Structure 1
Amino acid sequence: MIKKLLLLLIIVTFNSTHSQNTIGTTRIQNGVFEGYTLFTAFTETYLINNCGEEINQWSSEFPPGNAVYLLENGSILRAGRTNSETITFGGQGGVIEIFDWNGNLTWQYFYDTPLIRQHHDVHPMPNGNVLILAATKIFNTEAIQLGRNPSFLTETYLYSEQIIEIAPTGLNDATIVWAWNPKEHIVQDFDATKDNFGNVNLSPEKLNINFLNGGSGEANWLHFNSIFYNPILDQIIISSRNLSEMYIIDHSTTIAESASNSDGVYGKGGDLLYRWGNPQSYYQGTENDRKLFGQHSPYAIEDGLIDEYKIMLFNNGNGRTPLYSEVLVINLDTETPGVYFYESRTTYGPTRADYTYAHSGVRTNFFSEI
């Protein structure tokens, strides 16, 4: 009897200690995915298990730049926010760092000048390189030459975006090995005397520089907020919060090819291979056809998982009445892997998500603006 009580006491004590959370309150239900959760707050990054126990913690000198990844070797790739005051819209960053498992800073790279600043996202590549999302300033004279309607310019400059791939070198340097900029893939039907004049509805592979999606002409008209690299297709998925669209571009191009225009929707240049969420942006729909509302983080579900290769994203619901958020899983319409079907040469499919998670009762009870 004494042995049984002692054994019971040991089991109870062990379970109490083992399941004690050290970060926050948890609730675990059957079917939970067995994994860790990585997040960053203030200057700290935490890795916790399902019990809320801290597995590891890393410290930086910089508050979050809105991206952190756990790498295969146990290091973390983290973006941090610098004190720059030149490009200051939400999601600002400016510095990218790698810390090893023991918390040692092994690489640091600043991408932060008066004209260019990393923001929102970075993404680790299988080859050890890093994709960086950055805002770039275009002054109004260049924006007008690109075809921007001057009445849509409310500041002295316009933000374009840039994605670069860098190969880290040493402790604080890198080499740019690939680059893409949406300003090289523009169409406009406002001024025939300016660059990029054409038929917007016949150019879905380009961005209409005068489509504001109900905006007021702010400099930050695109507001890309995430990038994702799909190694199977060698393609990059981009999210534009302000235009409520996601895009897919080709990464297999050279830098020169990525700056060129493709011969049609399926060409090899740096034009868009696919877009989804708001077909009115290329004159192929109305507000009723809009699917995305200020979304975040579209990514391809890994092979071997349920719904592999489909796209999952968080659809915030900004600008929608009523305001509610949802998680969408989208099965892209493809002719072959990586080649996307352009339905009746009007819009990109699908017409609806494959799966939707929203509040099961009152939809507005589940809403996150950002």
Structure 2
Amino acid sequence: MNLRSFFVACLFLIPAFAAEPAPGLNLFSPNSETTTYLMDNDGNIVQTWESAYRAGLIAYLLDNGNILRAGKINDPYFDGGGAGGIVEEITPEGEVVWSFELTEFVGLLHHDIEVMPNGNILMIAWELISEEEALAAGRTRANLGAGEIWADTIIEVARNGSGGEIVWRWRVWDHLVQDVAERRPNFGNPADNPRRIDVNYLGSGRTDQADWNHSNGIDYNADLDQILVSVRNFSELWVIDHGTTTEEAATGSGGRYGHGGDLLYRWGNPAAYGRGTVDDQILFVQHDAKWIPEGYPGAGNILVFNNGDGRPDGDYSSVDEFTPAMRPDGSYITPITRAFGPRAPVWSYTGSPREAFYASFISGAQRLSNGNTLITDGPAGVFFEVDAEGNEVWRFAYGSNVFRVHRHEAL
């Protein structure tokens, strides 16, 4: 059976509902492959792109017909889940016309990237923090079983010929709080400092795990000049101000919203900053948080794939949409003692029964222009589309791990 026949054979026929699938082409890059596919809703492959690297993990289709794709290099030091290392622009003929590897500091690109309206690219990277640096910042030795920390950083890369240069940077390590060592920096009660990140909070991480935050998704809102990050190990979404200089981004003042690089907003797990317990937790090792674009149903809300691993009421996944507690000027309501709102999503999708839909890692969701939601069950390599009532209107099974699929409706 050839590749095209295989895809068609894997396309499940779905009974007709009132809602129809949104038209367009679906881009996906299987985790274990060097090929990226563009597929129509009938399962026909209309374009492929070849790379020398396996996915690392995401690919995006550009207006010129090329793709911007993260690849996984063989890095002997950083080998955590979602490891990448290189970002390439690849033509349909397989020519690499642009690439970027991180060389400015000891670290590695991972998981996701985001193309900005000006053509620059936001990238997530691990940054190596030594045991000595971690202890000096108030990390306890009991939480340093790995002997070091891979803290996340976000870089903005501008194209410079066939390569790129870092023109802006934000670091987790610049925005810490700790309550165990009064004479060390950043001492304070995390509950009194909700814009800062508790250096001893592990969440779903382990004491012997260097990959501390494990951010797995990034999005950019040009109108607000804000960056949204999905932080898996904290089971939280963070929003930071991009309207800062790199120098301001290392502090807690300045920028468009006056808080420098401190968190503007966080949601999903109040226990991460001492304002709740597991009973208040909403997100569980989530992926693929993004703002719903203008002109789409739910515009301005945030959509996220809530993997659900570790829920107190059982392991099941959901896709959740919520309205962030935002003021008209783009700033966020920060309660004095309570958790950041809202208390619950405005829309959710779960399986029926709910345990029937469970993807413990990777995966994603995309709001479509007709109000439907395209969902990626990443571990199973299954893509499906549901309407606002949760009725399934389209399904495709690829059959191996896929980080996430994206439908391009304008093509």
* Length-normalised TM-score, structure 1: 0.90
Give, in angstroms, the shift of residue 146 of structure 1: 0.9
Paired with 1:21 and 1:191, the residues of 2 have a C-alpha distance of 58
Of all paired residues, the percent bearing the same amino acid is 39
Structure 2 counterpart of 1:169 = 160
Tell me which amino acid in the other structure corresponds to 2:29.
Answer: T
Q: Deviations over 1:142-183 (max 9, x none)?
A: 001111111111012111111100111222x21111100010
Structural mapping, 1:76-115, within 5 Å = 76-111=67-102, 115=106
Structure-1 residue corresponding to 2:343 = 351
Structure 2 regions of 5+ residues with no counterpart?
A: 362-411
Structure 1: gaps spanning 5 or more residues: 1-18
AA paired with 1:364? Answer: E
> Where does residue 39 of structure 1 map in the other structure?
28
Larger Rg: 1
Q: Distance in 2 between matches of 1:123 and 1:331?
A: 22
Alpha-carbon distance in 2 for matches of 1:235, 1:192? 33
Counterpart residue number, 1:304:
295
TM-score (norm 2): 0.81
Cα deviation for residue 214 of structure 1 reads 5.4
- Kindly state the Cα deviation for residue 262 of structure 1 after the two structures are TM-superposed: 3.0
> CA offset at residue 210 of structure 1?
0.8
Deviations for 1:46-87, whole angstroms, at most 9, x for unmatched residues? Answer: 001111111210000000001111112222110000011101
**Corresponding residue of 2:216:** 225
Q: How many residues are paired up?
A: 351
Measured after TM superposition, the shift of residue 276 of structure 1 is 0.2
The higher-RCO structure (CA 8 Å, 6+ apart) is: 2
Instruction: Read off the aligned partner of 2:126 and give its amino acid letter.
Output: A
Quickly say closer, same or farther: Cα 1:114–1:268, change in 2 above 3 A: closer
- Choose which of 126, 142, 150 in structure 1 pairs with 2:133: 142
What is the distance in 1 between the residues matched to 2:96 and 2:329?
Answer: 39
Secondary structure of the residue aligned to 1:175 is: strand
Cα deviation digits, residues 195-254 of structure 1 (max 9, x gap): 111121110000001111254312112111111111121110001111100100011111
Distance 2:67 2:174 in 1: 33
Task: Indicate the SS of the match to 1:327.
Answer: strand
Structure 1 window deviating more from structure 2 (146-155 vs 216-225): it is 216-225
Q: Following superposition, which runs of at least 4 residues in structure 1 exceed 4 angstroms of deviation?
A: 19-23
Q: Could you tell me how far apart the structure 1 residues matched to 2:50 and 2:41 are?
A: 22
1:268 is displaced (CA, Å) by 3.3
Aligned letter for 1:205? R
Cα deviation for residue 22 of structure 1 reads 4.7
Counterpart residue identity of residue 76, structure 2: E
Over the aligned positions, Cα root-mean-square deviation in angstroms equals: 2.2
Query: What is the identity, as a one-letter code, of the residue corresponding to 1:363?
Result: R
Deviation at 1:115, TM superposition (A): 2.3
Q: CA deviation at 1:31?
A: 1.6
Aligned partner (choices 341, 346, 349) of residue 333 of structure 2: 341
1:2-13 to 2 correspondences below 5 Å = none
SS of the residue corresponding to residue 228 of structure 1 reads: strand
Partner of 1:285: 276
Letter in 2 for 1:210: N
Partner of 2:172 in structure 1?
182
Displacement of 1:347: 1.3
